[in-house]
Every structure is written in C-alpha cells, then in structure tokens.
Amino acid sequence: MIVEKVEDYINSAKQIKDPIRRIEKLMVGGVTLFPFQRASIFTYSPLTNVGEGVLFIEGSKVKSFHEVREDVRSIPHVYSALVKNKSQFIVINNSTFSFPEKYVNMFSLSSLLVIPLSHQDVSIGCVFIDRFNGQIDRKLIRQLENYFQHLTESIFKVTKQHEDFLHFSERQCDILQLLSNGCSTKEIAGRLEISEFTVRDYLTAISRKLDARNRTEAVAIALRKGIIQ
C-alpha cells in the first residue's frame, strides 16, 4: 500500500511541466511519505564545485533557498558524497564529521542524510534530509535514493537554465531590470543612452533566451529565476 502511494505520488508529480514546481512537489513528498520533517535540495556544479540552494521544506512550509551558496570542498563529507555519488549520513556532534558551524546553529542540526542526485553517473545536485522519526537503516536509505532520483531530470533542467542565465550580459540585465520597473522602450533607450532600435534588438534576444512569448513573460521568468530583483 505504501509503495503504491509513493508511486502514485511520483506519477502525479511527473505531470507537472515546470521543473521548479515538480521539484517542490517531490520534495514535499519526501517529508510526508517518509519519516522526516525537513529537507532541502541543492544544485551542484562539478566544474566549479559550488553548491547552491534551490528549495527548503519544513513540514508544510516551502521556501526558496538561493541564499545558501558554498564551495562544497569546504564541507569534506558532503563533497565526498557528491564525488563518489554515494549517500552519506552525517552525525554533527561526531568529531569524525566536520560541518560549517553557521549552518549547524542556523538550523539546529544534529545529523542529516546527504543524497546525491546524478545525471549520467555525475552528481549535479543533492538532497539534505533530517529530523528523522525513527531509525536510519540501509533499506530506508535505498528507498530514499530511489525516490529522490526522480528529481534528477528536473534539477538537471534547473542547472542548465542557471548556466544559460550566467551568459546574460550586464546590458541585458540592465534592460530587463528597467523593463520590470515599468520603463518603456523609449525610456530604456534614454537611460542607457542607446537607440530604441538597439533596445528592441536586446529585447528580442532576451525573449529568445528565456523562451518567453512577450516582454511581460520575460520579466516574470527573469524574476522567478533570480536574474533580476
């Protein structure tokens, strides 16, 4: 019955097209279908070794987690889990494991399970899950690994989108920001001291890069993805 419930939940999440919304649903499932109270998901770049928060789930609360960004090499056991693509259970008060004190204090951490998310055997993200109700054993870890691997496709898309966004020029970001502030093409041209024709060229390129149908949608996507504030 529990297996069927999990499978039904996964299938319903797969119907969601937006990768962030799909991630959100699957993460909520992680703390409702399994004996945990809190979970968070991170992207990870094997090129830069930087991990960045995406979502934080605690009970029924869901929030963006982009303020957390770290070079994972500074957290050896998390880095090891990602490089080896192998789940790692970390006991915070054990001298064998080191973990940044600021996060231990911020989240009152005592232990957590790190579950890597891999694409073609390369880690591209991970899930932290903690506040367990019961005992952690290998069977439960395997169940969690199987469940959270359904996040891989979505987190891969988010990572790819993020990498694409890094290629936005400063001028493109300026135009998007002014557009979000309600400026017209003429006003943007005046503020940036460029022609209206050039502004329109930039807007066309921006819309194409964001796969937006119009300027309003381009601004909405840029705000949601953190390109502009």
Q: Which fold has domain 168-224?
A: Arc Repressor Mutant, subunit A (1.10.10)
Architecture field, domain 2-163: 2-Layer Sandwich (3.30)
Answer yes or no: is pLDDT of 162 > 70: no
Phi-psi category of residue 193: left, alpha or beta, with phi > 0 → left and psi -120 to 50 → alpha: left
* Total residue count of the chain as it appears in this document: 229
Answer yes or no: is pLDDT of 18 > 50: yes
* Domain chopping of the chain, boundaries: 2-163, 168-224
Give mean pLDDT, residues 140-149.
Answer: 91
pTM of the model as a whole:
0.67
pLDDT bin (cut points 50, 70, 90) of residue 86 is very high
Beta strands 69-71 and 50-58 are: antiparallel
pLDDT bin (cut points 50, 70, 90) of residue 151 is confident
CA distance 56 to 34: 16
Answer yes or no: is pLDDT of 150 > 50: yes
End-to-end CA distance of the chain: 45
- Per-residue model confidence (pLDDT) at position 96: 65
63-93 per-residue burial string, b: 16 or more CB within 10 A, e: under 16? eebeeeebebeebeebbebbeeeebbebebe
- Of the candidates 138, 88, 130, 139, the residue with the CA atom closest to the CA atom of residue 111: 130
- Per-residue model confidence (pLDDT) at position 142: 92
CA distance 209 to 45: 21
